[in-house]
A and B are shown apart, each in its own frame.
Chain A
Amino acid sequence: MTRQGARRIGAFVQWREWNGEIVAYNDRTGDTHHFADLAAWMFRLLATRAASEDAIAAAAASEIELPAAIDRAAAIARTLDLFARLDLIEAA
């Protein structure tokens, strides 16, 4: 999977959202995960449509505020890596 390709949350993932936090069940691994803040926002985005890393960054710039100390692009890249390690995302 290339970093620039569009990705989305796999159809094998069930999820619920309450107050901006997400719990997700991965039917491939049997693991349950809890995401908040940027990770929850990215999860919701990728669960509703496929997006590349650049597209995520563009959407984040207009939709989500992060503390000034956080490097937005690096945080998005780390979160995508996390989703990949958890086997939650697939190429669109």
Chain B
Amino acid sequence: MTALALRFGPFAARLETSFAPLIAGLRLLYPPRAFAEESGFCDFRVAVAPGRGAHRWFRPQARFLLDGESPFKPLPADQALPMFEWGLNFAIAAQAHQYLVVHAAAIERGGRVAILPGAPGAGKSTLTAALVRRGWRLLSDELALIRPADRRVVPLARPVNLKNASIALMRGYAPDAVFSAETHDTAKGTVALMRAPDESMARSDEAAPVGWIVFPRWQPDAPPRLEPWSRAAGLMEIAHNAMNYSLHGAAGFALLADIFAASGCYRFTYGNLDDAVAAFAALASGAES
């Protein structure tokens, strides 16, 4: 059994596991400074443990445990690494209510954050992976943490979750990036994790204000199109994508309303990554704002 503490963004998790490939995967995907003193304070107490029952003899399984409880069904043992990452997302969404937690990517350039909400299949993670390999700072791939006190997005740089065709696409687009081994036959298909750029990980204490909210949609062969969109409609979408909006009540609404009042709201359709990177560069430079 290995026990370690992993720091990511404003959080630390204490992990216990007997799965050596999981530890090796984390060592590959997180920088050495992310591994902290195991005895220090941790926000989340998690374990990835072997499955129980007959399964363990003919098809080993892994169970994710948060505070000793298993919120998910066990998965095949070879899915322990993505399961751990998904489990951390669950833990943050379930417990980090000091933030408004939005299901969205967040990237920063020039001191302003672009929030990228995205329905499954919209290409959010692929677009995020490409942008952070082309000069944008990764704040989050999956969960944007908005701090109510100052309306800033708090970094939560962790590996980027890639699925299916996006994996080969990103391997070609960022050949010097570090990727985990591919895990096949998950609920999301084949998945792999791309390590966050070191600069993003190093700046994990630099929160930044929102400059843009961009709703991306990938369409095969579509020309890039970044068009202003209704702030009211955008706020409704973000509210639906926030994991704990209802818990924040009126303060959560006021927080989102203030952010939308101060930010550009866009819909973005794209068909290839080079076009998308160019469009976002224009956005950051003010050419589209």
Interface string of B188-212 (1 = CB under 8 A from A): 0000000000000000000000000
Q: 19 A-B Cβ contacts within 8 A?
A: A14-B257, A16-B235, A17-B232, A18-B230, A18-B260, A21-B231, A21-B233, A22-B232, A23-B232, A23-B235, A30-B246, A30-B249, A32-B235, A32-B239, A32-B245, A34-B232, A34-B233, A34-B235, A34-B236
> Using a Cβ–Cβ cut-off of 8 Å, how many residues does chain A contribute to the interface with B?
14
What is the CA–CA distance of A18 and B253 in the complex, to the nearest angstrom? 15
A81 at the interface (CB under 8 A from B): no
- Find out whether the CB atom of A32 lies under 8 angstroms from the CB atom of B233: no
A25 at the interface (CB under 8 A from B): yes
- Find out whether the CB atom of A27 lies under 8 angstroms from the CB atom of B231: no
With both chains docked as a complex, state the minimum distance between the C-beta of B85 and any C-beta of chain A, in angstroms. Answer: 30
* Contact status of A27 and B257, CB under 8 A, knowing A32-B239, A34-B236: no
What is the CA–CA distance of A34 and B234 in the complex, to the nearest angstrom? 10
A36 at the interface (CB under 8 A from B): yes
- Find out whether the CB atom of A25 lies under 8 angstroms from the CB atom of B231: no
Which of A16, A19, A22, A36 has its CB near the most chain B CB atoms (within 10 A)? A16
Q: Name the prevailing secondary structure of the B interface residues.
A: helix
Known: A14-B254, A19-B231. 18 other contacts (CB 8 A): A14-B250, A14-B253, A14-B257, A16-B260, A16-B261, A17-B232, A18-B230, A18-B261, A19-B230, A21-B230, A23-B232, A23-B253, A25-B250, A25-B253, A25-B254, A32-B239, A34-B232, A34-B233
List which B248-289 residues lie within 8 A (CB) of chain A. 249-250, 253-254, 257, 260-261
Chain A's closest residue to B247 (CB) is: A30
> Using a Cβ–Cβ cut-off of 8 Å, how many residues does chain B contribute to the interface with A?
16
